[in-house]
């Protein structure tokens, strides 16, 4: 990532120039990783017009030297912000990530830099929206592992399994497949509890006639996977079958809308308007999707309120859902790469309604 990171720094410098700042303090961990390649959990980045610094402590100095080729690794005893202030001495306006700095940290940094300190919002996130070739490869592998884990999971679970045990089995499979950790707390909710979009697994046991919604993903080389599937246990009611295929058709309609130059809200509208035709609109309670990368939820938001326009090589999820209190719910989620004339669907897990015996 180091060579790519230096190219990313040049793109950041162009944004800095537009904002009229001579240096940028980067504090969000994922943004530091994106720019420098540093995978440690404690460090700050300072980018100036001609130099790049990674400030960390002696626990990570050796690691940073290996990971951040072309960067100046500065070892700090304790107060990273004081060191940042020293490195920025003599420079003009210094930007900082206003979304990600606590008020206490801001006061400490302002003490070091003074009135030259200028809030900036979303500069590195702007760069992260469009993925490069290596990022797409990492995301694709995270999704492939998720596909494999799902296939193995449904081949082994059945009536009597507790939601909590299903979730833990998915964690085990993701790790076994090559993910370093889960991208988020695995969701496994069944029966009436499937009406909870972000429901947490419990000791509730799946029974014949239940629906089971699984939302899962793991990190591979720092990049997240994210997939949702809803399956049936032993038998399928007419109501479940109807709702399932309405959600699937809404998802397909949204996927067919995705291409470079299309507004994110248009993709959301494709899914939402389809469900509204069948009286299911009030039960679609979240946005149609979100960006995916170093974080499981990142820009752009694929929502009715989004002002974003899709660009080639953005990676987004498409995940309409229907949640009916007292009955249950269905969500189907794929990850797609935006292309000039459409999109490439990375998720290959089966989308026909599966019945687990």
- Which tens digit of pLDDT belongs to each residue from 298-352? 999 999 999 999 999 999 999 999 999 999 999 999 999 999 999 999 999 999 9
* Whole-prediction pTM: 0.95
3-state secondary structure of 118: strand
**Per-residue pLDDT at 77:** 85
Whole-number Å distance between alpha carbons of 30 and 223: 10
Instruction: Give the domain 133-356 fold.
Output: Creatine Amidinohydrolase (3.90.230)
CA distance 100 to 97: 6
Residue 21 clears pLDDT 70, i.e. is over it: yes
- Residue 155 CA to residue 153 CA, distance in Å, equals 5
Distance CA 166, CA 164 (A): 5
CB-facing half-sphere around the CA of 110: CA atoms within 13 A: 12
87-129: per-residue pLDDT in tens? Answer: 999 999 999 999 999 999 999 999 999 999 999 999 999 999 9
CATH number of 2-128: 3.40.350.10
Beta carbons of 200 and 166 less than 8 angstroms apart: no
Q: 126-155 as b/e, with b when 16 or more CB fall inside 10 Å?
A: ebbbbbeeebbebbbbbbbbbbbbbebbbe
Tens-place pLDDT, residues 29-86: 999 999 999 999 999 999 999 999 999 999 999 999 999 999 999 999 889 999 999 9
Q: Where does the pLDDT of residue 4 fall: very low under 50, low under 70, confident under 90, or very high at 90 and above?
A: low
> Under a CB-based contact definition with an 8 Å cutoff, are residues 308 and 172 in contact?
no
2 pLDDT above the threshold of 70: no
Give the per-residue pLDDT at 208: 97
- Selection from 137, 123, 133 nearest residue 35 by Cα: 123
Domain ranges in the chain are: 2-128, 133-356
**Which tokens hold the place of 94?**
């210094």
Mean pLDDT (the chain, rounded)? 96
**Is a pLDDT exceeding 50 seen at residue 272?**
yes
pLDDT of residue 63: 97
How many helical (H) and strand (E) elements, i.e. helices and strands, does the chain have? 10, 20
The per-residue pLDDT for 5 is: 61
pLDDT higher than threshold 90 for residue 158: yes
Give Cα separations from 72 to 21, 53, 57, 59, 289 (angstroms).
20, 5, 13, 16, 38
SS3 162: strand
**Per-residue pLDDT band at 3 (split at 50, 70, 90):** very low
For 235-258, what is each residue's pLDDT tens digit?
999 999 999 999 999 999 999 999
DSSP labels, 294-351: SSSSEEEEESTT---B--TTBEEEE--EEEETTTEEEE-BEEEEE-SSSEEE---S--
Res 23 pLDDT > 90: yes
The mean pLDDT value for 190-217 works out to 98
* 281/340 Cα distance (integer angstroms): 30
What gap in Å lies between CA 321 and CA 355, rounded to an integer? 19
> How much is the pLDDT for 258?
98
127: which residues sit within 8 A by CB, 6+ positions away?
8, 11, 12, 15, 34
User: Higher-confidence residue: 2 or 98?
Assistant: 98
């Amino acid at each position: 990532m180091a060579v790519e990171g230096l190219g990313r720094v040049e793109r950041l410098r162009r944004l800095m120039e537009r904002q009229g700042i001579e240096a940028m303090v980067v504090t969000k961990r994922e943004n530091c990783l994106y720019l420098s390649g540093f995978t440690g959990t404690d460090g700050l980045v300072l980018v100036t017009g001609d130099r790049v610094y990674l400030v960390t402590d002696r626990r990570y100095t050796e690691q940073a030297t290996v990971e951040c080729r072309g960067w100046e690794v500065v070892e700090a005893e304790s107060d990273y912000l004081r060191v940042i202030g020293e490195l920025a001495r003599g420079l003009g306006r210094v930007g900082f990530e206003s979304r990600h700095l606590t008020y206490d940290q801001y006061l400490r940094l302002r003490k070091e830099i003074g009135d030259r300190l200028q809030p900036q919002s979303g500069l590195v996130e702007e760069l992260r929206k469009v993925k490069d070739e290596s990022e797409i490869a990492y995301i694709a592998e995270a999704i492939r592992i998720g596909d494999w884990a799902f296939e193995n999971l449904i081949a082994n679970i059945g009536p009597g399994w507790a939601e909590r045990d299903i979730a833990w089995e998915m964690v085990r499979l993701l790790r076994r497949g090559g993910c370093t950790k889960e991208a988020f707390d695995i969701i496994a909710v069944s029966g009436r509890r499937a009406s909870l979009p972000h429901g947490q697994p419990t000791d509730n046991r799946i029974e014949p006639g239940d629906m089971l919604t699984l939302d899962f993903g793991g990190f591979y080389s720092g990049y997240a996977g994210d997939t949702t599937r809803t399956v049936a246990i032993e038998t399928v009611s007419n109501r479940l079958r109807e709702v399932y295929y309405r959600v699937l058709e809404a998802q397909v309609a949204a996927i067919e809308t995705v291409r470079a130059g299309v507004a994110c809200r248009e993709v959301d509208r494709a899914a939402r308007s389809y469900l509204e035709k069948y009286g299911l609109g009030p039960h679609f309670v979240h946005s149609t999707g979100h960006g995916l990368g170093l974080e499981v939820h990142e820009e752009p938001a694929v929502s009715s309120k989004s002002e974003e326009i899709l660009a080639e090589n953005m990676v987004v999820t498409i995940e309409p859902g229907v949640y009916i209190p007292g009955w249950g719910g269905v969500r189907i989620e794929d990850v797609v790469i935006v292309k000039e004339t459409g999109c490439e669907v990375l998720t290959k897990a089966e989308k026909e309604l599966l019945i687990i015996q």
